Structures are given as structure tokens and as C-alpha cells.
Amino acid sequence: MAKFRIAVHITPRKGLLDPQGNAVRDALHTLGFKAVRDVHVGRYIIVETDAYDALTAEDTVADMCAKLLANPVTEDFEIESAVPA
Amino acid sequence: MKFGIVTFPGSNCDYDAFQAVTDILGEEATYLWHKDHDLQGSEVIILPGGFSYGDYLRAGAIARFSPIMQEVAAHAKAGGPVLGICNGFQIACEAGLLPGALMRNLHLQFVSAEVRIRVENSDTMFTNLYDRGEILRMPVAHGDGRYVAPAGVLEELEAEGRIVFRYADANGSISADANPNGSERNIAGIISEGGNVLGMMPHPERACSALLGSSDGVRLLESILARVAA
């Protein structure tokens, strides 16, 4: 067993209305960042876990996303490669 | 009839539900602690409003894994009545007892107000003492009340009469103005496929006395009584 660190990005499902992202986009426009097309606000989760290898660690985190970390109805998730912690 | 009211860390409408069941309805109620493993013979389960587990991660996401929720899920699966109010609705969705999810209000603000809802289906165990099309007044108090579901699920809910309440104006019109949170199709409450789990954002337990603004919630509790006792 080794210790790994896996980062997960959770974002509002593409195509779903994202009022929080829209509010930030509008604020950026107000600040003068007129070129901003779109903003999405999500969560960044860091999991430290023991696992036999990096692939196992990533698979386990994918399972965690499906069961708890992300809402399957409203959110998408993306798992970064596991790195030794 | 015995009502079991689940208390999670952060629940804050459990006392209101208890008072509505015992004082207004005149029935027995007991609190069920989130760490409990048995429903103590409760025939009706209420998942009350509040901010279970501080709404960490997502509203209702952590509460779903409480020991008591395993019992509540089994009770629901066996056809037992479950009423999820506000945070209870969020928990029921997270637990898969109801389809869809509740997202941040469209205007991003917490809304604490009295709203009107229209009874869309009066042939359920929760609404049989209302008339279809009747307009009820109840309070809402939530930051994450915008109901969303995939288009196919919404169509299914419509077709099966499972949209029980919709936000409406005084004339009964389903308008965007009457929608306090941007819910799809003005949905305020839905029931499960089996008809025994109701989730709703408005608070019937806080609309049980004319002195407090509305007593329109009383008949919801009485409906359960009428149907379950029958």
C-alpha cells in the first residue's frame, strides 16, 4: 500500500443553468473583462488515500464521485492523475 | 398513528413537525435521532427542514448516509409513508427516494416568504383532503430549492401525475413571477413512483395555525391519517 493524493474537479453539468457562474461572469464584465464568455463555479476536492497503485486509487475516487462527491443529476466530475503523497 | 420525526445535526424544523403532529393533529410523535437504527414503530416518517450536517458538500448529501436513513429507505421501499419537507426533500432526492435534485435558487438569494402553491393531484395519500386546483398558502425558507431533473424525468412526472404542488399566483396561474426559486415547471412538490414518498420545499408543518398566517398545511397531515388509517 502506498499513499496517494487525487484531486477532483466538480462542475455544474454542462447545459444546465448555472446562476452562480453567470453572476461571476457578469461581475467580471462589470470589472472590464469584456472578453469573458462563460464562467462556471464548482468544487475542488483533494482526497488522500492509501491504495496499491495509482490506477486503483483513481478508480476508487471515481467510485466516491459516483456515490457521494458529485450529484449524478446536476454535476460532472473530472479526476486528476493520482500522485504519490 | 405514530409519526417518527428524524433529527439530524442541523435539523431545525423537527420541533415544528412534532408540534403539528401532536398538538394540531392529536397523534403520537417521536423523535428519531440520526444515529438510531430503528424507527421505533413509526408508521409515518417525517424528514424535517433545516441544514443537516451544515449543508456540507451539497444540501442533504451527508444526511443520506446516516444510520437512520437506511431504515427510512427500507420503510419507503416497503410502501411506508415518508414526508420530506425542505431539507427533507433535498435528503430524499440525494437518497434516491425521489428523482431529480434541488439546486441553488435562481436569484442566488435565500428566500424566506409565504408562497402560494396549487394542488395538482389530490389523489395521493398526502393530498386527498384537498381539491385539485386549490391554492394553498405556506411558508418557504431555503437557499437551495430550485428543482431540476432531466427532461425525460420531468415528462414522466407530468404523465404520471407525480407533480403534486406547483408554485402559483393568487389566481392559480403558474407564472415565473410566482416561482420563488426558479424550479423547473414551477415544481414545489413531487411524489415517488409508488406514491408513498412526498418531497416539497414549502413547509406544511409551519402552516398549521391561522394565528401564524395559514392553516392550509393541516389537511396534508390529516390526509395521511385518512389514507393510512383506511
What is the full per-residue pLDDT of chain A (85 aa) written as tens digits? 999 999 999 999 988 889 999 999 999 999 999 999 999 999 999 999 999 999 999 999 999 999 999 999 999 999 999 999 8
Instruction: Catalytic residue, from B34, B75, B142, B203: name it.
Output: B203
Spatial separation of the C-alpha atoms in residues B229 and B26, rounded to whole Å:
14
Spatial separation of the C-alpha atoms in residues A30 and A32, rounded to whole Å:
5
ipTM of the complex: 0.85
Spatial separation of the C-alpha atoms in residues B119 and B139, rounded to whole Å:
15
DSSP H helices, B36-183, are 67-77, 87-94, 151-159
Spatial separation of the C-alpha atoms in residues A77 and A72, rounded to whole Å:
9
Q: Is the pLDDT of residue B66 over 70?
A: yes
Residue B219 sits in a domain whose CATH number is: 3.40.50.880
Angstroms from B63 CA to nearest CA on chain A: 11
Neighbour count for residue A42 (Cβ, 10 Å):
18
pLDDT at res. B212: 86
Chain B contact present for A23, CB below 8 A: yes
Q: Is the pLDDT of residue B121 over 80?
A: yes
Virtual torsion, Cα B216, B12, B43, B76, nearest 10 deg? 100
CA-closest candidate to residue A6, choices A68, A85, A72, A71: A85
Q: In this structure, are residues A39 and A24 in contact, taking their beta carbons and an 8 Å threshold? A: yes
Q: Is the pLDDT of residue B36 over 70?
A: yes
pLDDT at res. B179: 98
Whether B205 is a known active-site residue: answer yes
Contact B104 A20 (CB under 8 A): yes
Angstroms from A71 CA to nearest CA on chain B: 8
Written as nine digits, the cell of B79 is 410502501
CA-closest candidate to residue A77, choices A69, B102, B65: A69
Residue A56 sits in a domain whose CATH number is: 3.30.1280.10
**What is the mean pLDDT of the segment spanning B116-137?**
98
pLDDT at res. A33: 97
- Domains in chain A, number: 1
Chain B contact present for A81, CB below 8 A: no
Chain A contact present for B110, CB below 8 A: no
Contact A19 B106 (CB under 8 A): yes
**What is the mean pLDDT of the segment spanning B115-119?**
98
Distances (CA, A) of B218 to B23, B26, B52: 11, 11, 25
pLDDT at res. A62: 97
**What is the mean pLDDT of the segment spanning B221-226?**
95
**Residues of chain B found within 8 Å of residue A17, distances taken between Cβ atoms:** 106, 148, 182
pLDDT at res. B227: 80
Q: Is the pLDDT of residue B228 over 80?
A: no
| Nearest CB neighbour to B108, from listed A23, A71, A73 | A23
**Residues of chain A found within 8 Å of residue B58, distances taken between Cβ atoms:** 71
- Domains in chain B, number: 1
Parent domain of B100: 2-229
Q: What predicted TM-score, i.e. pTM, was given to this entire model? A: 0.94
Map residue B32 onto helix, strand or coil. strand
Q: Mean pLDDT across chain B, nearest whole number? A: 96
**What is the mean pLDDT of the segment spanning B16-42?**
97
Give the number of beta-carbon pairs within 8 Å between A and B.
32
Residue B84: strand pairing partners: B47, B199
pLDDT at res. B230: 63
Parent domain of A36: 2-84
